[in-house]
């Protein structure tokens, strides 16, 4: 297998990434490979560098050291391959839900002179964009709200629109930075279910020998949420034996997979939550982390 093919196996490949702000060493040699169709949670102590890592992947703030690859291509500047949704929605107040979702495609695929000078060419394209926007709103269960403006929607609805707006660009990976942090508990649970539904689409695509459409890396500080929505959970932490040089990945294991109809049995998470507290959140436990970073070894073993 050539090196290039190797990289295309991953939606995201973070290679030896380090980052610092002056004397504040934040990320210390982070390595992370994410396969197509995975939903991966990332947890870690507050201030350990989770958002810094996401900004490095997005390339708005490229890492001081190391490389980011997405879908076999080096990420050097923000582009369509990597999408992001933050805690606070960023919709255009003067556009409806559907227009908001279509807007990014329109900007990406047509220019202002093109729209002004050859409107007869642009109109059919606009129709296509709006139709696609409708389909993505359906994926986030918002078809009924496509004509509402942001100020007519609840916080949860706006966050769904923001996610549809990111997904319509078909990024190789979508980054979510505490996306449900500002929502009430019931709304948060609905959005968690939405992620499980997207994951079901991935499983179906794999069954049909297709490429799973949604690869997501989600930062959350809520351990139950992290374990519930993802198929894999990663801990980023400065609590390891070289922590003075910044945080690295100290935990990487599968997370239990749920179907949207399954009962939410969070008691079953207790053992893994204890392990996470010890490996990721405990300043007293500065162990070598290899014993907790086992995800890819487990996959390899399962495949043989
Ligand atoms: N633009 C910046 N300039 C200087 N220092 C920064 C900058 N952005 C982040 N930092 C520092 O980098 C460290 C990591 O911050 P970051 O926001 O990535 O943490 P986090 O894990 O996302 O935290 P939280 O869980 O609270 O969101 C902190 O010490 C922070 O002060
Ligand atoms: Mg953060």
Percentage, residues of the chain above pLDDT 70: 95
**Ligand nearest to the backbone CA of 21:** 1
Residue 183 to residue 225: CA distance in whole angstroms: 13
Computed over every residue of the chain, the mean pLDDT equals 91
Ligand 1 in reach of 60 Cβ (< 6 A): no
**Ligand nearest to the backbone CA of 235:** 1
Q: Residue 282 CA to chain centroid, in angstroms? A: 25
Tell me: pLDDT of 124 over 90: no
**Ligand nearest to the backbone CA of 61:** 1
Tell me: pLDDT of 56 over 80: yes
Q: Are 199 and 214 in contact (CB under 8 A)?
A: yes
Quick one: pLDDT at residue 4?
Answer: 45
217 CA distance to ligand 1 centroid (A)?
18
Cα angle: 142, vertex 148, 154; to 5 degrees: 70
**Which two tokens mark 276?**
């996470």
**Which two tokens mark 74?**
């080096």
What mean pLDDT is predicted for residues 63-78? 95
Tell me: pLDDT of 57 over 50: yes
Residue 264's pLDDT band (cuts 50, 70, 90): confident
Residue nearest ligand 1's atom 17 by CA: 51
Q: Are 238 and 247 in contact (CB under 8 A)?
A: yes
Residue 120's pLDDT band (cuts 50, 70, 90): confident
pLDDT top residue among 87 and 7 = 87
Quick one: pLDDT at residue 105?
Answer: 86
Domains defined along the chain, listed by start: 1-67+184-304 (3.40.50.300), 82-170 (3.40.50.300)
Residue 287 to residue 278: CA distance in whole angstroms: 10
Tell me: pLDDT of 123 over 80: no
Taking CA atoms, 46 is separated from 3, 9, 58, 249, in Å, by: 36, 31, 20, 15
Classify residue 293 by its DSSP letter: B
Q: Lowest-pLDDT range, 68-72, 240-244, 289-293?
A: 289-293
Quick one: pLDDT at residue 2?
Answer: 35
Find residue 18's DSSP bridge partners: 65
Ligand 1 in reach of 50 Cβ (< 6 A): yes
Ligand 1 in reach of 47 Cβ (< 6 A): yes
Ligand 1 in reach of 51 Cβ (< 6 A): yes
Secondary structure (3-state) at 197:
helix
In ligand 1, the atom with minimum distance to the C-alpha of 53 is 18
Residue written as token pair 């220019």: 111
Which chain residues have CB less than 5 Å from ligand 2, an ion? Answer: 50-51
pTM confidence score: 0.93
What mean pLDDT is predicted for residues 2-22? 79
- Among 208, 158, 166, CA closest to 187: 158
Residue 146 to residue 220: CA distance in whole angstroms: 28
DSSP 76-93: -S--TTEEEE-SS----T
235 CA distance to ligand 1 centroid (A)?
16
What mean pLDDT is predicted for residues 140-163? 94
Residue 296 to residue 303: CA distance in whole angstroms: 11
């Amino acid at each position: 297998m050539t090196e290039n093919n190797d990289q295309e196996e991953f939606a995201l490949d973070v290679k030896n990434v380090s980052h610092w702000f002056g004397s504040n060493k934040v990320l210390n040699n982070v390595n992370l490979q994410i396969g197509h169709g995975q939903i991966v949670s990332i947890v870690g102590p507050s201030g350990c560098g989770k958002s810094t890592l996401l900004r490095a992947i997005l390339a708005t703030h490229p890492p001081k050291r190391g490389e980011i690859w997405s879908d076999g291509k080096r990420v050097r500047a923000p582009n369509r391959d990597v999408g992001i949704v933050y805690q606070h929605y960023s919709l255009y107040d003067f556009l409806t839900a559907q227009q908001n979702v279509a807007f990014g495609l329109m900007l990406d695929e047509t220019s202002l002179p093109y729209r002004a000078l050859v409107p007869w060419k642009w109109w059919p394209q606009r129709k296509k964009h709006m139709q696609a926007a409708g389909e993505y709103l359906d994926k986030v269960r918002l078809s009924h709200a496509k004509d509402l403006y942001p100020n007519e929607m609840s916080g949860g609805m706006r966050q769904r629109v923001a996610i549809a707006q990111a997904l319509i660009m078909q990024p190789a990976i979508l980054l979510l930075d505490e996306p449900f942090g500002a929502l009430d508990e019931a709304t948060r649970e609905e959005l968690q279910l939405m992620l499980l539904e997207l994951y079901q689409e991935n499983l179906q695509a794999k069954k049909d020998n297709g490429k799973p459409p949604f690869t997501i890396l989600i930062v959350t500080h809520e351990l139950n949420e992290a374990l519930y929505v993802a198929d894999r959970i990663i801990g980023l932490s400065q609590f390891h034996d070289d922590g003075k040089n910044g945080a690295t990945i100290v935990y990487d294991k599968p997370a239990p997979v749920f179907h949207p109809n399954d009962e939410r049995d969070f008691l079953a998470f207790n053992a893994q939550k204890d392990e996470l507290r010890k490996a990721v959140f405990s300043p007293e436990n500065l162990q070598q982390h290899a014993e907790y970073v086992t995800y890819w070894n487990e996959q390899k073993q399962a495949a043989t």
